[in-house]
Amino acid sequence: MAAKKRDDEEREPEVRNGADDREPPVVRDKRRIDPETGEPRAAEADAVADDETPLADDGAPTDAEEADELIAAEDADVEVSESGNSLDADIDHILSEAGQREIEEYRDRAARAEAELANFRTRVERDRQANREAVVADVIRSLLPAIDDLDRAAAHGDLEGSPLELVAQKMRAGFERFGVRRVGEVGEVFDPGIHEAIAQLPSAEATEQTVADVIEVGYALGERLVRPAKVAVRVPQE
């Protein structure tokens, strides 16, 4: 017993020495009212409360911090989604405008092509008519000497009852079928566009230039003059 008591007494100073080496406990006054002055200590209490916020043993964030991070991540996802939707809308709008412009351009091209085709058809038809009239005019011009001879024979009465009378009638009918008309009649006003003056006959009764005599009949095909009429013109006497 004496030996055990002695061993305990030898270990007791070691225990005391170990207790003396440890840091003394920190006592925080969490009271919001200062017991000495009676004034509130809200700032100090909040600081103490912040210092005593519990952390995980391994330094990991608390549940509140994890919740804040999740909310921030969701907000970021929402912002990215909204940004993506806005970008898609902008792209759709741009493509829609580009497509509308392309459609308008194709419509304009189609309208111009249709107008050009209509103008081309008009030019072709006009050229075809002009070529037709030119060919007919050349044919008629080549036949005019024969018609002139038949007209002179008819004027002298040589065609009446002869086979040539039927030939003259057929030729005049053919001219009429192609729209050929005679130009130059006695008494009409002189027109240098369709008349060729061979002689001038002054007259006291004349007030303007008129056709006094048709020496050679002229012919016209539509608006085209095949041959002007050779006439004698009665003019006012000076």
User: Could you tell me if residue 187 is inside a domain?
Assistant: yes
User: Could you tell me if residue 192 is inside a domain?
Assistant: yes
The per-residue pLDDT for 53 is 46
User: Could you tell me if residue 34 is inside a domain?
Assistant: no
Mean pLDDT, 10 residues at a time, the chain of 238 residues: 51 47 60 67 51 47 60 58 61 71 83 91 90 86 89 84 85 87 89 91 86 91 89 87
User: Could you tell me if residue 143 is inside a domain?
Assistant: no
Instruction: State the first-to-last Cα distance of the chain, in angstroms, to the nearest integer.
Output: 186
- The DSSP secondary-structure symbol of 28 reads -
The per-residue pLDDT for 121 is 92
User: Could you tell me if residue 210 is inside a domain?
Assistant: yes
Q: How far is CA 89 from CA 85, 125, 155, in A?
A: 6, 53, 94
Structural domain that includes position 221: 180-238
Our separate counts of H helices and E strands in the chain read 4, 6
Crossing angle of helices 63-155 and 163-177, rounded to 10°: 160
The per-residue pLDDT for 71 is 64
The per-residue pLDDT for 218 is 92
CATH of the domain at 222: 2.30.22.10
The per-residue pLDDT for 233 is 92
pTM of the entire structure? 0.49
User: Could you tell me if residue 211 is inside a domain?
Assistant: yes
The per-residue pLDDT for 88 is 66
User: Could you tell me if residue 115 is inside a domain?
Assistant: no
Please state the domain count of the chain.
1
d(CA 10, CA 6): 6
User: Could you tell me if residue 94 is inside a domain?
Assistant: no
